[in-house]
Every structure is written in C-alpha cells, then in structure tokens.
Structure 1
Amino acid sequence: MSATPRRAPKAGIHPDPTAPRRTSRAGIHPDPTAPRRAPRAGIHPDPTKSWLRRAWPLVRAHRALLITSLTLSFVGLIVQVQIPDLVRIGIDRALVDRADGLEKYVWLIAGLAIAQGVINFLARLYLLRTAYEMEYDLRNLVFTHLMRMSYGFYDRVQSGELISRATSDIRAVQMYLAFGPSILVQCTIAGIAFALMVSINAPLAVVAMLTMPVIAVLGVRMRKAIFPVSWLIQARLAGVATVVDENIQGVRIVKAFAAEKRQIDTLARAADGVRWAYTTDARIRSRWMPVMDNLPRLGLALVLLVGGLMVLDGHATVGTIVAFNSYVLMLQPPFRMLGMIIMMGQRAAASAQRIYDILDTPTELNDPAEPVVPQPRGDVLFAGVRFAYPDGTLGLDGLDLHVRPGETVALVGATGSGKSTVARLAARFYDADAGRVLIDGADVRDYPLATLRDRVGIVPDEPFLFSISLHDNIAFGHPAATREQVIAAAVAAGADGFIGELPEGYDTVVGERGYTLSGGQRQRVAIARALLVNPPVLILDDATSAVDVRVEHEIHEALRDLMRDRTTIVVAHRLATIGLADRVVLIENGQAVATGTHTELLATEPRYGRVLATEVHA
C-alpha cells in the first residue's frame, strides 16, 4: 500500500530579514559562573501513589510562594464580587430612590477596581515565580538522573524521547502544578458570588445556579474522553523530536545520500500524527466546551426572566437584576477554567507518567557503600570477564588479560571481537556479567565512579567535541586547568600545531560536534583532553585512525617522553601502532587467544596473520 503523500505547508515565513521583529526585554543571568542551586525537593519514590501525590514534595517545597499567590488571588476575588453589589446599591439608592449621591459609588467602584488590579498583578507575579521555580527543580531532577544512567540505558532509549520528556512534558506538569491551584481558587468566585446572591435574593440565586450541576457532570465526562488523547499527543511529540534530533545529528549522512526529501517526508508523517492527535483533542473539546461555556448564559436568561417577573411583582429591585447579571457573568470564567483545568490535568497526568518512567528507572551503576581508593599505579587486570550488551550481543567471553603498570599493549582482532568492550568495562561504562575487572588491585565496582574515570582515560574512535572553544574542549575533564597546562596537553597530542594556525587559536569555538575540524584534528583534541586529566591508564580506542602515520608516531613519542610510566592500551588497526606497543594481544570471540610481540605472533600464530591480512592496515 502506498504511503499517503505529504501535504506541503500552506505558507512560509516572511523572507525579509530586515523586517521588524520583536525582541525580548529579558537579559542574561548577570553571573553565569554562579553555582547551581540544587532542587529543593524531589519526586516521591513510591510508584503506587498517584502522580499528584508523588509530585506533592515538589509543590510543598515552594508552598510559601504558592500560598502567597493563592491568598492574593482569593483577596482579589473578594474585592471583585463587591463591585456588582455596590452597583446594585448605587442604582437602587442613587438612581431609583434618589436617596444618595451617585459620585460616592462611582469613586468606591473605581477604588475597588484599582485595588483589584494591583492585587491581581502581585498574585500573577508570585504565581509565575512559583511555576518557574518548580520547572527548574523538575528539569534538574530529570537531567541529573539522566546523567547518572549507564550506557545501557542510552542503548535502549531514543534521544528524541528524552528531549521531549525533559522539555514539553516538564512544561505540561509545571503548568498544572502551578496554575491548577490558581484556577481552583478562581473557581471559588462561584461560591462567593452565590453566597452574596443568596444574601440579596435567595430564590433568584437558586435560579442562577440551576445549570451548574449539569456543567459538573459534563466536565467529568470530558475528562475521561481527553486522557488517552493527551497521552497520545505527548508520545507523538516525542516522535517528532526523535526525527528532528536524528536528522540534525546525522545531517551530513542525509546530504551525502541526497535523502533530504525522504527525511522531510518522514518528519511530515510524524508531524501529521501530531496534527491528527491535536485535531482529535480539539474535536473533543469543541463537542463539550461550547455547552460548558454557554450553560451559564442560559442561567443569565433565566435570571432575566424570573428576576423581571419578581421586579414586576415588587419582590426584587432593578439594581438586584443588574447585580445578578454581573454575578452570572462572573460564573462563566470559572466554569470555562474548570474545563481548562480538566484538560491541563489530563495532559499533565500523561506527561508525569512519562517523566516518572525516567525517574523510576534505577541507575545500574552506583558508587559503592564502602569505596576504595588504592595508590594509582596503572595496573589493569581482566579475570574471566564475560559481558553481553543489552541486545544480547556477546562482547567478552571469559577474557583474561593483565596489563602491567607502564606497559603499552596493542589489542588486535577482527571487527566485533570485543576490543572496544575492554575499554568500556575498564572505565565501568558497563558492569561485567561475570568475572572481575581490577584497576590497581581493586575491583572497578569498589571505586567511586568519578575516581575510577580519573584513573582510566579513554579516547573513543569517534571523538565528540562540544560547541565551545578549543581550550574548553581540552579542559573539559579539568575545568580549572591553566592555559599552559592545556597547551602542554595539546603539544603531547600533536594538536598544538593546527590550533596555532587558527585565527583565534585556543579560543576558537568549534562548530556542532566539532565538524569544523577534520577527523584527525578532532581526534588529536580528544587525546589532549584525556591527557590533561593525566590518567594512570590511557585507552586509545582506535583513536589515531584519522591521523596519518607520522602524526601518530609523534603522538606516541610525545607520550613516551612526557609520561613514561603511563599504562596504555591501544585498539590497533595499523601496523605502525602495533609496532609501538611493548606487547600485542590477539582478541578473538571475546577472549585473549594469543599474546607476544608483533614478530613473535607473526611467526607462531596463524590467526594473527589472518587478522593482519583482513583487518590491519599499513
């Protein structure tokens, strides 16, 4: 079956870049180096509780601001409901009975209106502060948890899903937690207005409220209809985020295969799914909201009818009818807000569950209860290590490998033999399924994670650079490093030469993922970044594949000259790299099947020769 053709957008953005555009009046935080404020509270850990009860600690932590805002809102409502009563008294006494001056009531009403405006301004200000404080805390909770997750978690979850949950889902929850209570307070105006109407004319008050029970029933039914659609909307927004993220990250591959149109179609289909979900949501709202909005107007008609008859019979005054008209009109916004809070609640419930899915995922790698920190020597030992990736792919199968302090070992093997897995387990990106990985005689699971990763520096085969200066990229693992230390690390990695030729040198800001640099330049910067931390164990996971043999030789010579006692493990795909190693280990099917010098293995191990012929290059 052929795919539905993509509908082109009906309009675009004005092409004139000189056209006036609105700018924000807000500035940047005056001190970007200010320490981060820790979240004031977290989410209740019990997954059996309702989403609101789990979010309660977060709300409670900001209760002072929230209560201040709600109190001011309530006072503003009290002031607001006094105005129709003053109008009633003014009409009856000043216009009908001619017993009082009209000016007094005009000034009183104007004063109440000004007071209400000031109170509402302050209430809104505190409410928005509460909302953004809770959003800050929730966003930090989610991001902090994401930073604790292991590689295995990111192997399973799409980045677009995480971006969506850390942005739009958090905003949906924040809106409900902050504005929900405010809307409920606004809805109390119905009760206050009803109390005043009863004090003025009880029978007419009952007539005005006849439609309200119907609105409550309709609200419950609309809530049930909206919930599944709200969940679908958030899920499909995450799908769009995934498509956008993958295509931005892989834009060079998209362009290399001239796949722009196909990827635009993919995004259009994802966006069409979002459009359908939003349209369904709008259809549900359009079915219920007009009825909920207009039932109070029916109450207004009943007030005019019954109240008019009561005025003719002498049981009510003209001022009472005018006041009741105002009170009935006051009932409309609260009940419109009631529908709004129902929709916000359903969307927030769906978003909260998606956020809790992240927060409830346990961190697979944690610091030990009783950490050990032995003297750093650079001794690495794999003892009977077995490991399989989350998808079932076998990485290591009983690996036994010992790298002595100060030794340089080259790991050679066919693609998929487990060479890169050695690096990932040594730094404890994953935990071994069986066996032990020891650094300096201690199991890596007994180290604090930060200490372990200070001792084991890894330069991956696909180096990642941030969109910051080259200085900051090199100093990423050691932010307090001086310019002299950064330069020394760059010299050791063979990066100082090309950095010095750049217009701004070490202050040059690299582009997204460092793609303004060549592959070899990126790898040299990544090596410098690892060297600056000065780890006793350095693992180069095919990290010199994008540099020429001469530069690779210079890098290794610099390492030997500057740090002779460093333990270095090199995943090798070049004969030049193998020649620089003190010892070569042949990895096959996740096991170390042979070890020795390059010459010894070439003479005694046929499997080594076959790997050289197919996998290793000059």
Structure 2
Amino acid sequence: MSKVHPPPSAAIDPDPSRSWLRRAWPLVRAHKWMFGTALVTSGASTLVAVQVPKVIQEALDNSVVADRVPLSHYVWWLVALTVIMLVVGYLSKQLLFRAAARIEYDLRNMVYAHLTGLSFPFYDRVQSGQLISRANSDIRTVQMYLGFAPYLLVQCGVSLVAFVYMLAINVPLAVMAMLPMPLFYVASKRMQRSMFPVSWLIQARLADVATVVDENVNGVRVVKSFAAERNQLSLLQKAATRVRWAYVKDADLRARWTPLVQNLPSVSMAIVLLYGGHLVIEGSLGIGAIVAFSSYLLMLQVPFRVLGKLITFGQRASAAAKRLYEVLDEKPEIVDAPGALELTGARGDVEFKDVRFGYGDGPDVLDGFSLRLRGGETVALVGRTGSGKSTVARLLPRFYDVREGAVIVDGHDVRELALHSLRDAVGIVLDEPFLFSASVRDNIAYGRPDSGIADIERVARLAGAHGFIGELSEGYDTVIGERGYTLSGGQRQRIAIARTLLVNPPVLVLDDATSAIDVQVEQEIHAGLRTLFSGRTTLIIAHRPSTISLADRVVLLDGGRVVADGTHTELLASTPLYAEVLAQADERVKELEGTGR
C-alpha cells in the first residue's frame, strides 16, 4: 500500500488583484513558527555581531592606548561572542532551510494537485514543456525567494542597529555617512523597474527550451525515424539563442545597476575617513571610536550589496510566481454540478441523445449523434477515420461536455453525476495506451493498487498478457521503460486491457484497443473478453471484422451521426459504405503488418 503524504499546509490567496507576495503570504504563514524562530535566531546573531566592533573599540581605548584593562579580557569576550554567533547561526540556518523545503513541498503538491484537476481542454491548448518548466524551475525560484528573502532582510537589519551605534559615537559623522543613501534608493528603484520584463522573458524562454527538449525526448523515435536530429537541434539552438539573448540583456542591466547599488556605500566610507580622520587629528574622536565606526560602516555595506542581489532575485521570483499563478488561476471546465449525484450500482444503460460536439472553437465532430446501449449489451462503433468514433469514447466519461444534447447513464445526464463515480463506472482502453515507468504489476494494478498478485495474473490471462509477462526478466516485477516503449505496441495494449479489467467497470469502452495485436493473439484475447462482456455494457470502437464479431450489433458512424445500425451481416448486405470502411481498414492493417508494427 502506498504511503499517504500530508497535503499542502496552505494555498495561495485566490485574489488575482493582489501582489504576488500577498498571494504567497499564506504559504509562509503556514510555517510561521519555524520561520519566526529562524528569523528571531538570525536577528539575535545579528545583534551579537554588532557587539564585536564595540568590544574592539573598548579594547583599543582601554588596553592598547590607555593600558587600563588587560587585553585578554576583551579577547575572551570576542571568543564568547564568536561561539554564540556560531550556535545561533547554526540554529537559524537549520530552521530556515527546513521552512524553505516545506514551502517548496507545498508549492509542488499544490501545483500538481491543481494540474490533475484541470480539464482536458486545458491540456489540448497548453504545451507540456511549459507546464514542466513552471512546475520545476519557477517553483524553485519562488521557493528560494520566499525562503531566503526574509532572512536576508533580517540580516539587513544589522544596518539599523549599526547606525544607532554610529549615532552613539558621533552624530554629525553618522549623518554625513548616510548622505549617499537617497541616491541608493533611486538607483535601486530604477533597477527594479528595468529588470522585471527581462526576468519574465528569461522564465518564458526557459520554458520554450523545456518544451523542445520534452517533445524531442518523448518523440525520439519519430525524430530518429525521419533522421531529423539536425532539424531538432536547430530548433533547440534557436530557443537557446533566445534564452541567451535574454540572459545577456539581464547581465547588461545588472552590470549597469548592480555596481552602483553595491558601491554607493563606499562613498560613505570616503566621507568617514575624511571627516572622521579630521576629528581624530583634532582629538575630539578616539582611535577606537573611528575603528568601530569604520566597522559599523562596513556592516552597512554588506546589506546594500545583498539588497542589490535581492532586487534582482526578487524580479525573477515575481516573474516566476506570476507564471505559476497563470496555471493556478486556471479554472477546470469540467466540474461537479452543485449537489452532484453519486452513480452507485450502475446498470450500464447508456444513451447519446442528439449530441453535437466539437473541440474548442473548431467545427462540430458530432452533429446530431444518437445511440442507445442497453445494460449488458455489446455494441461495435465503426466509421472512417475522423468520423468521431474516439470522440464518442471521450464524451461518455465526461472528459468533455457536449455543446448540445446529452450523454445519459442510467437515466442521469452525466453532467448531473459526480465525476469520480462516473469515471469509476466507465473503463476505457485506448489504442495508444500510456504505461508508467514502473513494474508490470504496478501498471496493471494502477486503478486498484491494493490488488493481490492472483487477481493481477487473472486479468493478465484474460488480456492475453500473462504469457509474455512470464518471459520478461523479472516477470510481473519487471520495470518497463518510460511510456512502456521497452514493450511492443501489442504488449502495451494487452497490459492496458488488463489494467482496465482489474477495475471491473460496469461500462467498458475499447477504443481500437487491439489494433496493434496480431489476429492470432487477438482471437485468444477474445475468448477471455466474451466471458467478461457478459452482463457488462461494452462499446467497441474497431475496424477488424474479428473484433466486430464480439458485438451484439454494429453501428456505422459517418458525418458525425449514425447512418446504419444492425448486425455485421445485415450491414454488409444493406450498406455499401460499411463494406467500404472495412475494406479501407483491412488495407491499413496490411500496411501496418508490412511495417512490422
């Protein structure tokens, strides 16, 4: 049994009008105790660090210049302060890294859960590489900023404490040291405005690269079969060049603004040396004081250098977060209606009633399609390529909603039924089944992970898969390659059939599910399927007469509607189009067999 992991601790604020940080705040707040403790310990470390210049000042004034206190006294103080900073710093970093990891966990789970809830129309229009990029690099960028920006800001708080100590030493000198700060503020704001568009561009173009790579990895067999490696490499180079341009532009902006932002405090150092040195020469300021003052000024410089990087990183995080929010703000189109009914004890009575449907804004694929499948009946749906057969299979479990008409199961419009109960009742085996990079056992038991090996072997035998599985290196424990490409097309289809049969749905749809299986093996599978079809409503989308022979009746689809309905023999005798469709399918099968599929 798979381990149950905790859900995300919080969700983002759903209000799109708020800033990205305001929307992300619930994620940080969910870990407030860990985050708060990390920031408090970090602040404590900062306060301890600020004491070091003061100890050095007193050591110089009382031990080196006046020789009133043994120097070892201050040495031990410095050792003690160092130990405290080490311990507190360790606790701070430990808690901070844990909090950041938990934020990343929440983000990843939140995005994945949202993606699994989105409807098929969303995936029809969005590239998978874009989603992979947002679910990886964008999440990482946001997590790094949310996790470490507060820590860096606390560290920047050392500047305020240091400035207080500077005022305690000499007010005019402290004020003069801060004269360049307004210029720093103006420069940082201009840097922020100029870098955001480029940061967005970088994230978007990285996603383009991820899309090219994803398509080439998944379609490597097509690429190699057409010897198109050079063309694909050229596509990748173009995408990479666009990324390089964005990175160069980003580097140009950082080269223009970062040195100014980071080095403005050096002007303060020059002022301190000029005016502070004059005070020392006049005797109104001690050597220890000017050394401590210079140390505090150095502490001021570190936050300003950090702020420059923080601004840059913040713009990238902002761009990444907004790209993530584009996905998280996407609403699923296929959802449960208020008060949706649970489909329990399904009889398998299915009806398509005057259905009109098309994908997106495209033309109608089905136009006035009507079909009734009585409970326990097996119906074969036949038609030319593009006639809408697979579309019928997708409408039954409500992967899409019809434009007009209705799909009815057991007297209920599928839009009135709870999605999970409807899809539990309808099992689908596609002509191009997807298998996971897991063992054969896990792939078959995907719908029922707790199934025992006896049940898994039973359905594998019914699907004609037990024989070849036994010949694999580790039998049912053999891990198959990505998408199951270490198996033949027919072997993948047989595992997919077994996977669906294990769930034992009252309504079964076979969408050309044996198209890659040779006729001899198909006959063996049919023997098992005939037993399973008993008492189960089955819709078979097929072209082969051997598969069609499993059906009680045959329905011919053309132009998005039913044009003939009867037995195989009746349609051959009365409908020339039916014989033509079968002849075309037979030619296609011969072509596939000739290619060695």
Map 1:221-240 → 2, pairs under 5 A: 221-240=190-209
Tell me which moved more, 538-547 or 264-273: 264-273
Three-state SS of the structure 1 residue aligned to 2:198 is helix
2:260 corresponds to 1:291: yes
Q: Distance in 1 between matches of 2:298 and 2:260?
A: 15
2:554 corresponds to 1:584: yes
Aligned to 1:266: 235
2:135 corresponds to 1:150: no
2:389 corresponds to 1:424: no
Of 314, 321, 336 in structure 2, the residue corresponding to residue 352 of structure 1 is: 321
Please report how far the alpha carbon of residue 271 of structure 1 lies from its aligned counterpart in structure 2 after TM superposition: 1.2
Q: Distance in 1 between matches of 2:131 and 2:333?
A: 18
Q: Distance in 1 between matches of 2:398 and 2:249?
A: 47
Please report how far the alpha carbon of residue 598 of structure 1 lies from its aligned counterpart in structure 2 after TM superposition: 1.1
Aligned to 2:142: 173
State, as a whole percentage, how many aligned pairs show the same letter: 57
Please report how far the alpha carbon of residue 444 of structure 1 lies from its aligned counterpart in structure 2 after TM superposition: 1.5
2:394 corresponds to 1:436: no
Aligned to 1:480: 450
Aligned to 1:3: none
Please report how far the alpha carbon of residue 616 of structure 1 lies from its aligned counterpart in structure 2 after TM superposition: 4.6
Three-state SS of the structure 1 residue aligned to 2:554 is strand
Of 459, 464, 475 in structure 2, the residue corresponding to residue 494 of structure 1 is: 464
Of 569, 574, 585 in structure 2, the residue corresponding to residue 599 of structure 1 is: 569
Three-state SS of the structure 2 residue aligned to 1:539 is strand
Of 465, 470, 477 in structure 1, the residue corresponding to residue 440 of structure 2 is: 470
Q: Distance in 2 between matches of 1:556 and 1:434?
A: 36
Of 70, 73, 79 in structure 1, the residue corresponding to residue 48 of structure 2 is: 79
2:481 corresponds to 1:517: no
2:522 corresponds to 1:549: no
Q: Distance in 2 between matches of 1:255 and 1:204?
A: 72
Tell me which moved more, 204-213 or 112-121: 204-213
Q: Distance in 2 between matches of 1:503 and 1:58?
A: 46
2:291 corresponds to 1:314: no
Q: Distance in 1 between matches of 2:295 and 2:474?
A: 68
Of 339, 342, 361 in structure 1, the residue corresponding to residue 311 of structure 2 is: 342
Aligned to 2:335: 366
**Paired residues of 1:413 and 1:615 also in contact (CA < 8 A):** no
Please report how far the alpha carbon of residue 155 of structure 1 lies from its aligned counterpart in structure 2 after TM superposition: 0.3
Q: Distance in 2 between matches of 1:405 and 1:33?
A: 35
Segments of 4+ moved more than 6 angstroms: none
Three-state SS of the structure 1 residue aligned to 2:493 is helix
Aligned to 1:18: none
Three-state SS of the structure 2 residue aligned to 1:436 is strand
**Paired residues of 2:20 and 2:321 also in contact (CA < 8 A):** yes
**Paired residues of 2:37 and 2:95 also in contact (CA < 8 A):** yes
Please report how far the alpha carbon of residue 611 of structure 1 lies from its aligned counterpart in structure 2 after TM superposition: 1.9
Q: Distance in 1 between matches of 2:199 and 2:16?
A: 21
Q: Distance in 1 between matches of 2:577 and 2:476?
A: 45
Query: Structure 1 stretches of 5 or more lacking a match?
Result: 1-31
Three-state SS of the structure 1 residue aligned to 2:132 is helix
Amino acid at match of 1:63: K
Amino acid at match of 2:155: Q
Three-state SS of the structure 2 residue aligned to 1:394 is coil
2:158 corresponds to 1:189: yes
Deviations 1:455-505 (A, max 9, x none): 111000101111100000000011011000000110110001111111211
Please report how far the alpha carbon of residue 562 of structure 1 lies from its aligned counterpart in structure 2 after TM superposition: 4.1
**Number of positions where the alignment pairs a residue of Structure 1 with one of Structure 2:** 587
Map 1:18-417 → 2, pairs under 5 A: 33-370=2-339, 371-417=341-387
Please report how far the alpha carbon of residue 33 of structure 1 lies from its aligned counterpart in structure 2 after TM superposition: 4.1
Please report how far the alpha carbon of residue 274 of structure 1 lies from its aligned counterpart in structure 2 after TM superposition: 1.1
Please report how far the alpha carbon of residue 208 of structure 1 lies from its aligned counterpart in structure 2 after TM superposition: 2.0
**Paired residues of 1:375 and 1:440 also in contact (CA < 8 A):** no
Quote the RMSD (CA, aligned, Å). Answer: 1.3
Deviations 1:428-477 (A, max 9, x none): 11111111111222222222222211211100010111110000000001
Deviations 1:257-303 (A, max 9, x none): 11112211211211121111111111111111112222212211221
Three-state SS of the structure 1 residue aligned to 2:157 is helix
Deviations 1:370-395 (A, max 9, x none): 22324311211101111110151422
Please report how far the alpha carbon of residue 331 of structure 1 lies from its aligned counterpart in structure 2 after TM superposition: 1.2
Amino acid at match of 1:356: Y
Aligned to 2:543: 573
Deviations 1:284-330 (A, max 9, x none): 11111112222212211221111111011111000111111111111
Please report how far the alpha carbon of residue 601 of structure 1 lies from its aligned counterpart in structure 2 after TM superposition: 1.0
Deviations 1:536-563 (A, max 9, x none): 1111100100111122122122122245
Map 1:559-570 → 2, pairs under 5 A: 559-570=529-540
Three-state SS of the structure 1 residue aligned to 2:458 is helix
Please report how far the alpha carbon of residue 204 of structure 1 lies from its aligned counterpart in structure 2 after TM superposition: 1.6
Deviations 1:341-363 (A, max 9, x none): 21122111111111111111111
**Paired residues of 1:374 and 1:440 also in contact (CA < 8 A):** no
Q: Distance in 1 between matches of 2:79 and 2:21?
A: 41
Please report how far the alpha carbon of residue 337 of structure 1 lies from its aligned counterpart in structure 2 after TM superposition: 1.2
Q: 1:505 to 1:391 in 2, by over 3 A?
A: farther
Amino acid at match of 1:176: Y
Taking structure 1 as the reference length, what is the TM-score of the superposition?
0.93
Q: Distance in 1 between matches of 2:62 and 2:521?
A: 98
Deviations 1:580-605 (A, max 9, x none): 22111000111111100111111112
Q: Distance in 2 between matches of 1:549 and 1:378?
A: 29
**Paired residues of 1:492 and 1:528 also in contact (CA < 8 A):** yes
Please report how far the alpha carbon of residue 400 of structure 1 lies from its aligned counterpart in structure 2 after TM superposition: 0.5
**Paired residues of 2:169 and 2:293 also in contact (CA < 8 A):** no
Three-state SS of the structure 1 residue aligned to 2:450 is coil
**Paired residues of 1:374 and 1:442 also in contact (CA < 8 A):** no
Aligned to 2:594: none
Taking structure 2 as the reference length, what is the TM-score of the superposition?
0.96
Deviations 1:62-97 (A, max 9, x none): 111111111111111110011001101110110111
Q: Distance in 1 between matches of 2:25 and 2:243?
A: 30
Tell me which moved more, 383-392 or 148-157: 383-392
Three-state SS of the structure 2 residue aligned to 1:608 is helix
Aligned to 2:584: 614
Q: Distance in 1 between matches of 2:344 and 2:237?
A: 56
